[in-house]
Amino acid sequence: MAPPSWSRLTVRQRLTATVALLTTLALVAVGATLYVLESRRIDRAIESGISQELGEFRALRSEPDPDTGRPFASAERLLEVFLERNLPDPDEQLFAFPAQGRPSYQGEYDARLQRSAEFPALVRRLSTTGGTRTLRIDGHTYRVAVQPVRVGSSTSAFVVAHDVSASRAYLRELLVTYALLAALSVILVAGVASWSAGRLLSPVRRLRETAQGISDGDLGGRIEVTGHDDLSDLQRTFNAMLDRLEAAFAAQRQLLDDAGHELRTPLTVLRGHLEVLDVDDTEDVAATRTLLLDEIDRMSRLVDDLLMLAKARRPDFVRTRAVDVEALTLGAVDRARALADRSWVLDGVARVNARLDGQRITQALLQLSENAARHTQEGDEIGIGSRLHEGRLELWVRDTGPGVDPALAPTIFRRFAQGEDAHEGFGLGLSIVSAIAEAHGGDVVLDPTDAGATFRIRLPMEAAT
């Protein structure tokens, strides 16, 4: 579990801190690697310089004295000639320690080294065997190489002393400069990371703000989608979810409003008859019972219709499969004949298979047939048919009744829309037909006719195969 102090940070702050930490670790690793490699290079250069000086000194021993042309007569003379001929490298000193007398040197004066007691003591220890040692004086490091010199009976020492600390001083300055630049780089990277994290997380922030709006009851807010990355996909998915939620809440509110509006009248009827019921009058009780059962049946049909309209927006409202449209049309005509004593006619059939929900389409055709039967008289003609027309599958129900009032045509598919000659219906039948058509990606229209009425269900071409 993350510590409380870390968990209280925002995602942007966590990302910035993580990037800054990783950058710091990377720069520290680079600096440490640079220090180790450069230190080894300096050490190799020091050892190489010392070896070169010793090699040149040995080479001089095999040469004659430049003044006499003969071999060197003493070690002191050999050391004197070598110091005259050679200049030491930076941070390096060449010493001649004679058997007798004070030592001489070539190079810059180093008070720390030359005034110390450790340096001559080390030279004396190595004057017979020779060798290279590391010497520390007051926190300063030197690399000292001693080469014994024997000419005749005299023994002297040639000494090369290199100031290691001085050679590494520039490396320390380089690391200080590197540390300052690294610190500035970390600050710059942290600033850029914070800015980038803010831009990358802005869709998440807008999502949170939109979600807060939803919690306050506003389902109309949407996130503005920008870009084509994963967060943009999240925004689109969130917007689609809001669309479904808004549709679900709208359907719920519509169901509650419709139920409250339409159930109030039959409930009032029930209450009124029960209040005036004479329980001692058997005829009144029987009449009231018949009336109440009729009202209950009407309320049951109303509830069923409202539930169907509420389910119409669900993705599983229709279950499509390949359906023989000709067989579906013939079946609808056969079922419609039982609705009323009318002249039922088959106008035509589309001999094609289509992907649709056969039960829902049959339900829509029967609902249209029931409406047609309700607005016609005995002996009137009602036709049912289907066809492929202009790339769409069409199924229709027509009648020879009085037709639809032109003033009612624009609102006829709305819920509870009824004409002046409305019978016992609630005005939900055409709304159900429209919902079924829309669930298939189509629509239902009222054809303009001079006589009667023709309701046509139009389904998209993709539904037909």
Average pLDDT over residues 336-350: 91
Instruction: List the one residue out of 309, 267, 269, 317 whose CA is nearest residue 439.
Output: 317
Distance CA 302, CA 418 (A): 15
Contact criterion met (CB below 8 Å) for 103 and 97: yes
Name the residue with tokens 């941070």: 91
Regarding predicted confidence, which is higher, 249 or 37?
37
Taking 90 as the threshold, does the pLDDT of residue 136 lie above it?
Answer: yes
Regarding predicted confidence, which is higher, 316 or 452?
452
Helices (H) and strands (E) in the chain, counts: 12, 12
Average pLDDT over residues 328-332: 92
Helix ranges (DSSP H) in 68-157: 75-85, 111-114, 118-126
Contact criterion met (CB below 8 Å) for 416 and 309: no
Considering only 92-101, 123-132, 280-289, which range has the smallest mean pLDDT? 280-289
Ordered by start, the domain boundaries in the chain are 11-170, 240-311, 321-463
Contact criterion met (CB below 8 Å) for 313 and 247: yes
Band of pLDDT at residue 135, cut at 50, 70 and 90: very high
- The phi and psi torsions of 459 (rounded to 5 degrees) equal -110, 150
Q: What percent of the chain has pLDDT over 70?
A: 80
Band of pLDDT at residue 353, cut at 50, 70 and 90: very high
* Whole-number pLDDT of residue 128: 84
Average pLDDT over residues 364-389: 90
Taking 60 as the threshold, does the pLDDT of residue 424 lie above it?
Answer: no
Exposure string of 6-45, with b = 16+ CB inside 10 Å and e = fewer, is: eeeeeebeebbeebbeebbeebeeeeeeebeeeeeebeee
Taking 60 as the threshold, does the pLDDT of residue 4 lie above it?
Answer: no
Taking 80 as the threshold, does the pLDDT of residue 368 lie above it?
Answer: yes
The topology under which CATH files domain 321-463 is Heat Shock Protein 90 (3.30.565)
Band of pLDDT at residue 213, cut at 50, 70 and 90: low
Band of pLDDT at residue 422, cut at 50, 70 and 90: very low
SS3 of 36, please?
A: helix
Taking 80 as the threshold, does the pLDDT of residue 59 lie above it?
Answer: yes
Distance CA 410, CA 417 (A): 10
- The phi and psi torsions of 425 (rounded to 5 degrees) equal -75, 170
H or E element, residue 97? strand 92-97
* Whole-number pLDDT of residue 271: 77
Helix ranges (DSSP H) in 339-400: 358-374
Instruction: List the one residue out of 383, 386, 403 whose CA is nearest residue 342.
Output: 383
Taking 80 as the threshold, does the pLDDT of residue 235 lie above it?
Answer: no
* Whole-number pLDDT of residue 260: 63
Contact criterion met (CB below 8 Å) for 223 and 206: yes
Contact criterion met (CB below 8 Å) for 414 and 434: no
Taking 90 as the threshold, does the pLDDT of residue 396 lie above it?
Answer: yes
* Whole-number pLDDT of residue 433: 87
Distance CA 325, CA 131 (A): 108
Distance CA 345, CA 425 (A): 25
Taking 90 as the threshold, does the pLDDT of residue 416 lie above it?
Answer: no
Average pLDDT over residues 420-428: 53
Taking 70 as the threshold, does the pLDDT of residue 421 lie above it?
Answer: no
Distance CA 218, CA 208 (A): 13
Band of pLDDT at residue 11, cut at 50, 70 and 90: confident
Average pLDDT over residues 186-201: 86
The residues that bridge with 271 in the sheet, in sequence order, are none
Taking 80 as the threshold, does the pLDDT of residue 415 lie above it?
Answer: no
The residues that bridge with 95 in the sheet, in sequence order, are 105, 159
Query: Distance of alpha carbon 99 from its chain centroid, rounded?
Result: 82
Contact criterion met (CB below 8 Å) for 274 and 333: no
DSSP 435-459: HHHHHTT-EEEEE--SSSEEEEEEE
Band of pLDDT at residue 26, cut at 50, 70 and 90: very high
Considering only 34-38, 214-218, 374-378, which range has the smallest mean pLDDT? 214-218
The topology under which CATH files domain 11-170 is Beta-Lactamase (3.30.450)
Average pLDDT over residues 124-128: 87
Regarding predicted confidence, which is higher, 10 or 2?
10
Band of pLDDT at residue 1, cut at 50, 70 and 90: very low
**Mean pLDDT estimate for the chain:** 82
Q: Which two tokens stand for residue 20?
A: 């800054």
Regarding predicted confidence, which is higher, 272 or 457?
457
Instruction: List the one residue out of 330, 353, 350, 345 whose CA is nearest residue 390.
Output: 350
Amino acid present at 370: E
H or E element, residue 353? strand 353-356
Count the Cβ atoms, other than its own, within 10 Å of residue 166: 16
Q: Which two tokens stand for residue 188?
A: 């710059």
Taking 90 as the threshold, does the pLDDT of residue 384 lie above it?
Answer: yes
